Amino acid sequence: AQSVSQHNHHVILSEAASLELGCNYSYGGTVNLFWYVQYPGQHLQLLLKYFSGDPLVKGIKGFEAEFIKSKFSFNLRKPSVQWSDTAEYFCAVSPYGNNRLAFGKGNQVVVIP
């Protein structure tokens, strides 16, 4: 079964700082990749997804992620965070054509005004 690793579970940074969250997965075949965001007390919302094509994908709210196949990674970035980006961020992986979605443990991000 595929697994997803997210490092640095707790991240604290100031507004305007840059954010990068790492995501590595273990699966040798073609995968679909997702980042979800969960704001305090809310449900998971899709931030961005990669299925094929350009490995640099842009999502909502200024987030982007880069798929590096050779490194089995799908890192999330935002050049300048805002206080409203305080949330938990989950990386998720699904083998192509498979319904199962494997989630990482999440990154708790706190942005200080």
Cβ neighbors of 28 (< 8 A, separation 6 or more) are: none
As a whole number of Å, the CA-based R_g of the chain is: 13
4-23 mask for another protein (x: CB under 8 A)? --------------------
Cβ distance to another protein smaller for residue 19 or 33: 33
| Shorter beta-carbon distance to another protein: residue 18 or 30 | 30
- How far, in Å, CA of 54 to CA of 9, rounded? 28
Residues 22-41 interacting with another protein (rule: CB under 8 A):
32, 34, 36
Q: How far is the CB of 100 from another protein (least distance, A)?
A: 6
What DSSP designation does 42 have? S
* Binding status of residue 67 toward another protein by CB under 8 A: no
Give the pair of three-digit tokens for residue 95: 């083998």
Q: CA 67, CA 63: separation in Å to the nearest integer?
A: 14
Establish if 73 lies at the interface with another protein (CB under 8 A): no
